[in-house]
A and B are shown apart, each in its own frame.
Chain A
Amino acid sequence: QVQLVQSGAEVKKPGASVKVSCKTSGYTFISYNMHWVRQAPGQGLEWMGIINPVGGIITYAQRFQGRVTMTRDTSTSTVYMELSSLTSEDTAVYYCARDKKEWDYNWFDPWGQGTLVTVSS
């Protein structure tokens, strides 16, 4: 079955960077785009960006531009999200989610299990 398995929880100091991985299995990696979404404690969902695994074409949400980098490794079917210049406001659970596009519809399915990133001095 399709699975997205993310890396483990991270604790970072303000100003540092964090890199979260999302290893995929059960489908053809290059056939689907991947999104990153985050959720601060007790808050809603916030879209961060999308990466196309074929050409590496990326679109970032405007508020993260300049601070986020999404990459992929086709040899291991893994996507990565790196966020720099961390502040306490970046404390959140970070999710990868596959873009399930069919018949000109789009939705996210499945989602990774989430990676908690805590930013604290």
Chain B
Amino acid sequence: EIVLTQSPGTLSLSPGERATLSCRASQSVSSRYLAWYQQKPGQAPRVLIYGASNRATGIPDRFSGSGSGTDFTLTISRLEPEDFAVYYCQQFGSSLTFGGGTKVEIK
């Protein structure tokens, strides 16, 4: 099973700042099968990025994804108030696993 390790666990930032979230895999993951999700309290997750770098329908362009192999990154260029949430990476390669999540909180 591929283990996804997200860091940091919590990111404390102010609106307007840039957020950089990391997702590291225990073995190589095809970029086609790496996705990012956002989850707000009391809500189901929603997809932001699929295929490591493709924004899902309706996702603002301040969200971007990059990376390959074992290292992937989600970047939020300028945090809006509605972006404070928990973010998960997911891989579809060997079995299917999620990272432990990164909470982006207001500083």
B is bound to A: yes
Knowing A44-B99, A108-B37 are in contact, say whether A95-B54 is a contact too (CB < 8 A): no
Instruction: Give the distance in Å from the alpha carbon of A35 to the alpha carbon of B95 in the complex.
Output: 12
Knowing A106-B32, A108-B37, A113-B44 are in contact, say whether A44-B50 is a contact too (CB < 8 A): no
CB contacts under 8 Å to B, within A14-50, are 35, 37, 44-47, 50
- B44 to A44, Cβ gap below 8 A? no
- B98 to A46, Cβ gap below 8 A? yes
Residue of A nearest to B50 (CB): A107
- B37 to A61, Cβ gap below 8 A? no
> How close is A94's CB to chain B, nearest CB, in angstroms?
11
> How close is B77's CB to chain A, nearest CB, in angstroms?
22
> How close is A21's CB to chain B, nearest CB, in angstroms?
16
Residue of B nearest to A4 (CB): B44
Is A80 close to B, CB under 8 A?
Answer: no
Residues of B within 8 A of A62 (CB): 1, 95
Where the two chains meet, the residues of A that have a C-beta atom closer than 8 Å to any C-beta of B are 35, 37, 44-47, 50, 61-62, 95, 97, 100, 104-114
